[in-house]
Structure 1
Amino acid sequence: MSLFPLYMFPLLFTMLLIGVPVAFAMLATATIFGYMVFDQALIHQFIEKISDVASNYVLAAVTLFVFMGCMLERAGIAKRLFEAMHLWTRRVPGGLALGTILMCIVFAASTGVIGATEVVVGLLAVPAMMKYKYDNGLMAGTICAGGSLGTMIPPSVVVVIMGPLADVSVGDLLVGMIFPGLILGGMYIAYILARCIIQPSAGPMIRAGEEPEVSLGEKLRITAIALVPPLLMVFAVLGSIMLGLASPTEAAALGAGGSVLLTILYGQFSLGVVYQALLKTLRITAMIMTILLAGSMLTGIFIGSGGVMLTQELVDASNLGPWGLLAVVLLLAFIAGSFLDWISVVLIMIPMFTPIMVGLGFNPVWFCILFLIVIQTSYLTPPMAPAIFYLRGITPPSVTTVQMYKGVLPFIALQVVTLGLVMYFPNLVLWLPEQLLGF
């Protein structure tokens, strides 16, 4: 068998390591190898891929979810959520950290954009935690782990990209990730609470008199203003999908409209705000779509040159068995996720391995959720750890990188536990889509 298709990856990774932007590295690799295989017919291959991406209406949800996140960021929703959560958790050990995780869950469900949550939350939580002398490691781990929940809490932009590549319903993925995402968030909360009870100095409880007292009625009022509107929007987006009333693209449009209404409700609406949100949406969407198009071309050349058949032959020759191969694929995803951004990992690996996993008898929705958990884990794992580099840019020098590394380790362990639970109990992913969507 010819190993020709596999030679694409050393060239691709070499270009990435020397600093070539991901989209251009993928496009250059696809062009070089595509010309060697298809000669001048390559142009027709590329035109077909451009048409496929341009005509895939599901991808319109990417732009709409990004716009939704940008508008909510402009509405100041994160600050309101942080203040509301802090009112209820400040008398609990590790209350600021617990409030941060709760806010991350709601904010991730409101935006769907990975990376944005961590920076916005970090700017709010770091000064508050440092003021009350929280352990630097716990502070860093909480913000990094909470910010990464955008991968596993629907709606997630990565799922909108992953669905068409895996030939899986985006709705099934969005519904299937609900239980694993909530389990992960719940484990974070349980760990923080247990650690701060055992080691009070890690997350000091705010004592009476350290902050002004707020009456129950005022707490409820502040919480209702901060929490109810975004939750209603989240329920409208996810509920319309779960009840079969709207496709993911239609639900994303509903969320985009809801984000504008929330901006008006909070008194932050102006033409300038809309313009800035549209400009940021354009930049992010253009970046995602360019990488997606380049990745689609690369995948097309890999498949057209016999890459899938070659991969299948290598799988058959490996004698690893279905579970052994699954472990190898997830390990490769973890390694790749430590060096590449999530969209590159998804574009390279999902079209290649999903058909093989399905051929081995694994459910594609379940496999995609496992893949997401692994990507999120690699996002936190040293030494590369993109989450830590995000946080490094918004924390003072007194918080060292070593403290950040140590702080994320317990959260990585919880991710591994969640991965094991989902592997052992597939119904954590499959039951809800079966009940609601009948897939």
Structure 2
Amino acid sequence: MSDPQLALLMLGLFIFLVFLGFPIAFTLMAMGIGFGYYAYFDPNRMWRSYNRLDELASSWDSFSLWIDGFFSNTVFDLFINQTYTVMANEVLTAVPLFLFMGYIVERANIVDRLFSTLNIASKNMPGSMGVAALITCALFATATGIVGAVVTLMGLLALPAMLNARYDKSFASGIICAGGTLGILIPPSIMLIVYAAASGVSIVRLYAGALLPGLILVGLYLAYIVGRSILQPSAAPRPTRDEVPDVPFMRLTFMILTSFLPLAFLILAVLGSILFGLATPTEAAAIGALGGILLAIGYRALTFQRLRESVYLTVRTTAMVCWLFVGSYIFSSVFSYLGGEQVISEFVRGLDLTPLQFLLLAQLIIFLLGWPLEWSEIIIIFVPIFLPLLEMFGIDPLFFGILVALNLQTSFLTPPMAMSAYYLKGIAPPDVKLTDIFKGVLPFLLMVFLAMAVVYVIPQSVYYLPEVFYGR
């Protein structure tokens, strides 16, 4: 078997093991080291150690020499160097800080106040409770970036209120599931940080480029909610005074000042400091983490137990991301050394694709990968396979990254593996069936595809803000 064939076997075996349920990070490392041992095997280097066995009298010395001979392989040096490189990556330093900000904000009891305020403020709009739920999801998802936490918390808070207000079960479920995924697209997104580390694209340009597409997607969601509420009033009845009471203007203003503005100010302060060059993403993430603590203190929600939980969850998630990077780097290095990337490049070149056809093929593959895999695994493992091909088709990695970020919304919304639907089903009332949730997310899935089409047709929606802030 030739080296390129061995590389393809390595990739196929990895995918097979992932579908069997093996931990992805450790599978990557095991596959990389296993195949890398063969790829970098140097018999002269190993036998130089073994030839000294006759000189040794002690069996322990002989055993130690056997061990040294076994580990005298370049793949172990590669593994150590890649581990150190990942842990010293300054871009990834922002990940634990943004995660901590999200976990501490999640525990600050902000969401219930925010949803109540927006529900009262928008009560005269068609589908007012749905609009309030989506905006709350968008703000909370942007602040946390943790899809499961947003969907679960909003499912406990907003879904019962919408069902009590006689909203259609699938419509209400779809709003929460779609809104909860927005945090992986709208800055400050952890996904974009991971993509920047994997691709070498400037994180500040990615943040600027993702802002307008994120707002376009939110606008399409809102347009669908309001439009359906007008065309099908039974799906989203107008609230009664008992459901949403009248509140004096001054009291409503105070509610907005104490619920909406603090969280919005925190997000804008973090994002603005990055976009205007006042702070690096890592420094801005530190500001956000401190701001999250101050918000929790201000809302009298900071306890030692919540602080400990936030730190624990931050460390656990950060470790998962870092070890995924380590495994991906060792896997991709061995895969490339065996000639796997060259095989894929020659295969794609032989297809004689246009740039549009390549983009459609790449996005289709990422869409399908979103069924069994999390976004972090797709970005760290599979997106780097496409990156060397972008130059061949004249595609900007910045533009490609924004399309991927939009596409990854679908990984949480596409039945039968829509994870946001399963998050919601876990805490929804018994009469809300999984099929109801699947039915509700499908229109929002179409909105994602429409947003991707808009971005492709109007590429300035990606490039406008990066050019305004940083030039061409």
**Same fold per TM (> 0.5)?**
yes
Q: Which has the larger radius of gyration?
A: 2
- Partner residue, 2:22: 20
User: 1:326·1:357 contact (CA, 8 Å) conserved in 2?
Assistant: no
User: 2:119·2:244 contact (CA, 8 Å) conserved in 1?
Assistant: no
- Partner residue, 1:346: 379
Deviation at 1:209, TM superposition (A): 4.3
Corresponding residue to 1:128 among 161, 170, 179: 161
Post-superposition Cα deviations, 1:19-40, rounded to whole Å, max 9, x if no partner, equal 1112122222212221221132
Three-state SS of the structure 2 residue aligned to 1:3 is helix
- Partner residue, 1:316: 349
Query: Does the alignment pair 1:333 with 2:366?
Result: yes
Q: How far apart in 1 are the matches of 2:9 and 2:461?
A: 38
Q: How far apart in 1 are the matches of 2:219 and 2:195?
A: 25
Three-state SS of the structure 2 residue aligned to 1:20 is coil
Instruction: Report the AA paired with residue 109 of structure 1.
Output: T
Instruction: Report the AA paired with residue 251 of structure 1.
Output: A
- Partner residue, 1:32: 34
User: 1:243·1:437 contact (CA, 8 Å) conserved in 2?
Assistant: no
Query: Does the alignment pair 1:259 with 2:292?
Result: yes
- Partner residue, 1:144: 177
- Partner residue, 2:440: 407
Corresponding residue to 1:101 among 134, 144, 147: 134
Query: Does the alignment pair 1:284 with 2:317?
Result: yes
User: 2:185·2:192 contact (CA, 8 Å) conserved in 1?
Assistant: no
Output the aligned Cα RMSD. Answer: 1.5
Deviation at 1:90, TM superposition (A): 2.7
Query: Does the alignment pair 1:71 with 2:104?
Result: yes
Post-superposition Cα deviations, 1:307-364, rounded to whole Å, max 9, x if no partner, equal 2222211111111222212211111100001111111111122211122113321111
Of 84-93 and 199-208, more deviation after overlay is shown by 84-93
* Structure 1 residues 311 and 206, CA gap change in structure 2 (3 angstroms): same
Three-state SS of the structure 2 residue aligned to 1:269 is coil
Instruction: Report the AA paired with residue 192 of structure 1.
Output: I
- Partner residue, 1:90: 123
- Partner residue, 1:438: 471
The number of residue pairs the alignment matches comes to 439
Q: How far apart in 2 are the matches of 1:105 and 1:227?
A: 12
Post-superposition Cα deviations, 1:349-397, rounded to whole Å, max 9, x if no partner, equal 2211122113321111110010111111132011111111111111122
Task: List alignment gaps of at least 5 residues for structure 1.
Answer: none
Q: TM-score, normalised on structure 1?
A: 0.97
User: 2:363·2:404 contact (CA, 8 Å) conserved in 1?
Assistant: yes
Three-state SS of the structure 1 residue aligned to 2:181 is helix
Instruction: Report the AA paired with residue 34 of structure 1.
Output: G
Of 362-371 and 390-399, more deviation after overlay is shown by 390-399
Three-state SS of the structure 2 residue aligned to 1:267 is coil
Q: How far apart in 2 are the matches of 1:210 and 1:421?
A: 38
Query: Does the alignment pair 1:428 with 2:430?
Result: no
User: 1:61·1:252 contact (CA, 8 Å) conserved in 2?
Assistant: yes
Instruction: Report the AA paired with residue 142 of structure 1.
Output: I
Task: List alignment gaps of at least 5 residues for structure 2.
Answer: 42-72
User: 2:185·2:191 contact (CA, 8 Å) conserved in 1?
Assistant: no
Q: How far apart in 2 are the matches of 1:3 and 1:316?
A: 18
- Partner residue, 1:178: 211
- Partner residue, 2:46: none
Q: How far apart in 2 are the matches of 1:408 and 1:271?
A: 38
Three-state SS of the structure 2 residue aligned to 1:180 is helix
User: 1:151·1:376 contact (CA, 8 Å) conserved in 2?
Assistant: yes
User: 1:292·1:343 contact (CA, 8 Å) conserved in 2?
Assistant: no
Instruction: Report the AA paired with residue 119 of structure 2.
Output: H
User: 2:87·2:322 contact (CA, 8 Å) conserved in 1?
Assistant: no
Corresponding residue to 1:52 among 61, 76, 85: 85
Instruction: Report the AA paired with residue 274 of structure 1.
Output: L
Post-superposition Cα deviations, 1:151-197, rounded to whole Å, max 9, x if no partner, equal 11111111111101111011111111100111101111110111011
User: 1:77·1:226 contact (CA, 8 Å) conserved in 2?
Assistant: yes
Corresponding residue to 2:229 among 196, 213, 231: 196
Deviation at 1:208, TM superposition (A): 3.0
Query: Does the alignment pair 1:221 with 2:276?
Result: no
Q: How far apart in 2 are the matches of 1:120 and 1:301?
A: 42
Three-state SS of the structure 1 residue aligned to 2:427 is coil
- Partner residue, 1:4: 6
Q: TM-score, normalised on structure 2?
A: 0.90
Instruction: Report the AA paired with residue 367 of structure 1.
Output: F
User: 1:159·1:170 contact (CA, 8 Å) conserved in 2?
Assistant: yes
Instruction: Report the AA paired with residue 346 of structure 1.
Output: I
Three-state SS of the structure 2 residue aligned to 1:115 is helix
Instruction: Report the AA paired with residue 331 of structure 2.
Output: L
Q: How far apart in 2 are the matches of 1:163 and 1:29?
A: 25
User: 1:132·1:204 contact (CA, 8 Å) conserved in 2?
Assistant: yes
- Partner residue, 1:269: 302
User: 1:369·1:429 contact (CA, 8 Å) conserved in 2?
Assistant: yes
Q: How far apart in 2 are the matches of 1:168 and 1:436?
A: 16
Of 177-186 and 18-27, more deviation after overlay is shown by 18-27
